[in-house]
Structure 1
């Protein structure tokens, strides 16, 4: 039971971090939609999307390789961490050189805030990498401390600067940079992470660089899957329908992020455990158990958000933003498939087989872009939501088939297919708002919850020691 206990502890720590950061974003959403125009909101969202998109592009996710190899051999940690921090600095310099590109119309006015965008990139990405260092070096509690402090500072500043001082979009940038930047101080001084930087070790272990980069390079497209689909969809919407339509789509996209809180908590803990337990006995059994729990949490959470989406939207989407709420159901279904894709992707990473992730990502991204470009003129922003769904579904099919080469994880095909069918039906009735759609949506939610309770019964028996679990 030790591996399950460690997983639960990690879930708790990542949970505190997620509650502090992700939920703060939802607390601030009514503030943004109330005080910012649709154009300002669109620029704000474009800045956020570009930061999260450029991070894997400019750093090639070297931090993920650092995590995997440091957990495998901590005696080489100084090399991996030093290499990662140098890459981070280089990414900031490269972004500074590329800043004039953001004057292009496709970025919807982001070019007017170039310097603040660069600072936002640094303020978000350095704490993210330092958090990965904390995971690798067993500084788990530090992640929660840094996240709570940065979220509180950002939230207080946002209300003071935007609502109190009417600074608008600049108030957002100030609060974002200062809030996230405070986490850097926590990692540097409370965690003393500067001690992990050693240029002598870095110079004397250059032979390790090749394996680190061989592992990390294919991970960037995998991480980019959601960002590329979302970002290019924004570009298409902005180019065809205007920045205001992009703002509406962005507002609808925020509510499915409620599920990202849950998914990222479980995913980060699962990834850490998958790496730590890779060389232990009973690996397949462990993965089978975690799959059941993961699938249950993602499916029930998705169904619950779809059921509550009209009510959540009334609170979080003010004024003209509310008209985009029906898109939420499609975006939640896409999220569910993406969550499964992330679970399977972690298995590839545990086996250090990252190249297949690149293939699936390319195919899925092309599917998303082709669908969106083909139908955006006639279907509007709905085409972008459906395009993300098509891309996620394509990646899901490829990975489910290909993963068998590494491990035959028992994904419970029949119960999983039923769950997916119910989620799809729930999404459709909510999207078209047919007669009694709320009642039909509730029936789907209860059916999914019942099916998952039945699936988790063996795990409950395991936890209470009634009998040995058999997957």
Structure 2
């Protein structure tokens, strides 16, 4: 199978895994914003970002190394060694975490502490099994696990809300049951037991895995700082209700992040597998050109639709969130560009550059946020996110330590970026007629830059229908 066909096929599989679940989450937003207060939303959001900070330290990101090693290894015994080493190392870390957590529970009274511990354990186990599925090339199974996790999570949450009328614990219970269900199903589908044997644990391999994963930990923490530290700064300076508003403001940019994540999963596989190809740079550049032409007009459409969509899907007391959502879309674009380069760095196993650039971006994010938060309120958090991700992408793109080259079509970049920023500014006029015109122009822009892809897609669908 050619690289392009494999990339398209993998993207389709990952799209099935992620688009449906994210769509369901999106459609349930009106329910949750009506049921939970802004303060409750803000509290849950803080818990989520705190757990996100803890995960890399507990797992040592060894699961990322397992995925990377499995992707290039075809021998069954070698795969068994990789999975056994990674899994038993992860179990050791989780055991140590549980002992530490019990100590904390004895001496400190932390709200929802038992639920938080269970959520962390099953999150790491589920992530491990899903990374194994991807590394083994079982992308369809990975898709099934993702869909199962989301459906079980949402059904559990709806039962908690409609039947048992549980408040914030709803989110915990849904996350725990969803992750546990996906992990158990993954063990069955992958026949996970056949890859596990204590005598296959390799100390030498564990050192190699850690050498790759350890630089990812501060990188992951820095990414957390850039993506989530806003919540703590907002809560400290503006309060939990303001954080609840900001949390909802991030829901629509999830659509861009979803598209990015779908493509990124497939692109990371492809970038790693094609890294040693002679025409690697040409291939990377061609894929980036197509990706950029899809990403920028898509984001422009969503920015112009933001006021209309927020009016439809959130309760009135959350509507003001749209003003920050529009800016956060721009941040989502720069994150997508950063991750594109990040996949190429993973291909060369050069995770140190990812660490360095994420650290710098995180520091920029915090500094800009702290300087502006008391002057312009929630706008500071949105703007600092954009600036942080932009700096991260810029440094990754210009880094002298990279061993690959990705050419950027300067004409495309200038035109599409200028249009996006212009439409973003015009959206703040809050004029219904102007916004409607901007939506139509954005749709035309998307067609203009993607008509060849749309034409091929149309012909493909027609051929399928005729069959």
Q: TM-score, normalised by structure 1?
A: 0.88
Residue 259 of structure 1 deviates from its aligned partner by 1.5
SS at 2:349's partner residue? Answer: coil
Corresponding residue to 1:318 among 315, 320, 326: 315
Instruction: Tell me the equivalent position of 1:122.
Output: 121
| Partners of 2:324 and 2:379 within 8 A in 1 | yes
Instruction: Tell me the equivalent position of 2:2.
Output: 2
SS at 2:161's partner residue? Answer: helix
Moved more, 77-86 or 333-342: 77-86
Matched, 1:83 2:80: no
Instruction: Tell me the equivalent position of 1:68.
Output: 68
Question: Which whole-Å CA distance do the structure 2 matches of 1:190 and 1:292 have between them?
Answer: 37
Moved more, 288-297 or 444-453: 444-453
Instruction: Tell me the equivalent position of 1:112.
Output: 111
Question: Which whole-Å CA distance do the structure 2 matches of 1:187 and 1:23 have between them?
Answer: 23
Matched, 1:189 2:188: yes
Instruction: Tell me the equivalent position of 1:107.
Output: none
The number of residue pairs the alignment matches comes to 455
Instruction: Tell me the equivalent position of 2:25.
Output: 25
**Which stretches of structure 1, 4 residues or more, deviate above 6 A after TM superposition?**
99-103
Matched, 1:155 2:157: no
| Partners of 1:422 and 1:448 within 8 A in 2 | no
Q: 1:319 to 1:226 in 2, by over 3 A?
A: farther
| Partners of 1:60 and 1:217 within 8 A in 2 | yes
| Partners of 1:426 and 1:440 within 8 A in 2 | no
Question: Which whole-Å CA distance do the structure 1 matches of 2:74 and 2:445 have between them?
Answer: 43
Question: Which whole-Å CA distance do the structure 2 matches of 1:94 and 1:339 have between them?
Answer: 35
Question: Which whole-Å CA distance do the structure 1 matches of 2:310 and 2:92 have between them?
Answer: 41
Instruction: Tell me the equivalent position of 1:469.
Output: none
Alpha-carbon deviations, 1:372-412, whole Å to 9, x = none? 01111121111011110110111121111116842221221
| Partners of 1:99 and 1:114 within 8 A in 2 | no
Matched, 1:278 2:278: no
Question: Which whole-Å CA distance do the structure 1 matches of 2:393 and 2:194 have between them?
Answer: 41
Q: 1:453 to 1:9 in 2, by over 3 A?
A: closer
Q: 1:169 to 1:333 in 2, by over 3 A?
A: same
Corresponding residue to 1:213 among 204, 210, 213: 210
Moved more, 356-365 or 406-415: 406-415
Residue 251 of structure 1 deviates from its aligned partner by 0.6
| Partners of 2:59 and 2:94 within 8 A in 1 | no
Question: Which whole-Å CA distance do the structure 1 matches of 2:280 and 2:293 have between them?
Answer: 20
Q: 1:3 to 1:422 in 2, by over 3 A?
A: same
Residue 95 of structure 1 deviates from its aligned partner by 4.7
CA RMSD in angstroms comes to 2.9
Q: 1:118 to 1:398 in 2, by over 3 A?
A: same
SS at 1:325's partner residue? Answer: helix
Matched, 1:407 2:409: no
Name structure 2 gaps, 5 residues minimum: 461-467
Q: How does 1:110-259 map to 2 (within 5 A)?
A: 111-202=110-201, 205-259=202-256
Question: Which whole-Å CA distance do the structure 1 matches of 2:428 and 2:219 have between them?
Answer: 29
Instruction: Tell me the equivalent position of 2:44.
Output: 44
Question: Which whole-Å CA distance do the structure 2 matches of 1:94 and 1:385 have between them?
Answer: 37
Residue 437 of structure 1 deviates from its aligned partner by 4.6
SS at 1:254's partner residue? Answer: coil
Question: Which whole-Å CA distance do the structure 1 matches of 2:351 and 2:14 have between them?
Answer: 24
Q: 1:353 to 1:226 in 2, by over 3 A?
A: closer
Instruction: Tell me the equivalent position of 2:465.
Output: none
Question: Which whole-Å CA distance do the structure 2 matches of 1:243 and 1:90 have between them?
Answer: 36
Question: Which whole-Å CA distance do the structure 1 matches of 2:245 and 2:97 have between them?
Answer: 28
Name structure 1 gaps, 5 residues minimum: 104-109, 465-471
Alpha-carbon deviations, 1:187-231, whole Å to 9, x = none? 1112211221222121xx322233322222222344445432232
Question: Which whole-Å CA distance do the structure 1 matches of 2:410 and 2:220 have between them?
Answer: 26
| Partners of 2:42 and 2:244 within 8 A in 1 | yes
SS at 2:275's partner residue? Answer: coil
Q: TM-score, normalised by structure 2?
A: 0.89
